[in-house]
Amino acid sequence: MGWLDRVNDQVDALTRARTLQEVDRSAEACTLLDRVVGSTTDPHARADALVQRLSALINLGRTAEFTRAIEEASAAVRDLAEPYLHGHLNALAALAAHHQGALDRCVTHLVKAARALGAVDDPDRDTAWGWHDLAMAYSYLSFHGYALGAIERARQLGVAAGIPEETFAAPGIRLRNAVALDHNGDSDGCLRVLRDVASDLGRFLRGERAGRLRPSSLAAYGYAAARRAALGDQVETGTDADPSRLLAHGGDSARARDMRQLGQVCLAIAAGNPIEAVTRLDTARVSHETLGAAEAARLRSIAYGRAGDHPAAHRADRHAFRLAAQRNDRLRDVYIDGIAARIDHEEMRREAARYEGEALTDPLTGLPNRRRLERYIAAVVARGERVVIGVCDLDGFKAVNTRHGHHSGDLVLQRVAGVINRVMRRGDFVARYGGDEFVVVLSGAGMTEAAEVARRIEAAVRTEDWESLVPGTPVGVSIGFAEVTGSGPGLRDALGTAFEIADREMLAAKTRPRAS
Is residue 81 included in any domain, yes or no?
Answer: no
- Other Cβ atoms less than 10 A from the Cβ of 361: the count is 17
Which among 386, 390, 394 is positioned nearest to 481, based on CA atoms? 390
Residues 441 and 463 sit within 8 Å (Cβ to Cβ): no
Residue predicted with more confidence, 21 or 269 = 269
* DSSP designation for 6: G
pLDDT (average), residues 400-424: 89
Residues 249 and 242 sit within 8 Å (Cβ to Cβ): no
Tens digits of residue pLDDT in 463-487: 888 988 899 999 999 999 999 876 6
Q: Is the pLDDT of residue 348 over 50?
A: no
Q: What is the pLDDT of residue 356?
A: 52
What is the DSSP annotation of 248-275? T--TT-HHHHHHHHHHHHHHHHHTT-HH
CA angle 382, 387, 393 (to 5 degrees): 130
Q: What is the pLDDT of residue 1?
A: 43
Q: What is the pLDDT of residue 8?
A: 63
Is residue 386 included in any domain, yes or no?
Answer: yes
- Kindly state the helix (H) or strand (E) to which residue 409 belongs, with its residue range: helix 406-423
Q: What is the pLDDT of residue 495?
A: 78
- CATH number, domain at 381? 3.30.70.270
pLDDT (average), residues 375-386: 82
Is residue 347 included in any domain, yes or no?
Answer: no
What is the DSSP annotation of 28-81? HHHHHHHHHHHH---HHHHHHHHHHHHHHHHHHT-GGGHHHHHHHHHHHHTT--
- Kindly state the helix (H) or strand (E) to which residue 163 belongs, with its residue range: none
- Cα separation of 365 and 465, whole Å? 19
Is residue 505 included in any domain, yes or no?
Answer: yes
Tens digits of residue pLDDT in 272-325: 999 999 999 999 999 888 898 899 999 999 999 999 999 999 999 999 988 887
Is residue 98 included in any domain, yes or no?
Answer: no
Task: Quote the domain boundaries for residue 505.
Answer: 365-511
Is residue 113 included in any domain, yes or no?
Answer: no
Residue predicted with more confidence, 486 or 2 = 486
- % of the chain exceeding 70 in pLDDT: 90
Residue 53 identity (one-letter amino acid) = R
Q: What is the pLDDT of residue 491?
A: 65
Q: What is the pLDDT of residue 296?
A: 95
Tens digits of residue pLDDT in 142-190: 888 888 899 999 999 999 989 888 889 999 999 999 999 999 888 999 9
What is the DSSP annotation of 111-153? HHHHHHHHT-SS--HHHHHHHHHHHHHHHHTT-HHHHHHHHHH
Q: What is the pLDDT of residue 357?
A: 52
Q: What is the pLDDT of residue 82?
A: 81
Is residue 383 included in any domain, yes or no?
Answer: yes
Residues 413 and 404 sit within 8 Å (Cβ to Cβ): no
Is residue 182 included in any domain, yes or no?
Answer: no
Tens digits of residue pLDDT in 56-110: 998 888 888 999 999 999 999 988 878 888 888 998 998 888 877 777 788 888 8
Tell me the average pLDDT of the chain: 86
Number of structural domains, the chain?
1
Q: What is the pLDDT of residue 487?
A: 61
pLDDT (average), residues 22-33: 89
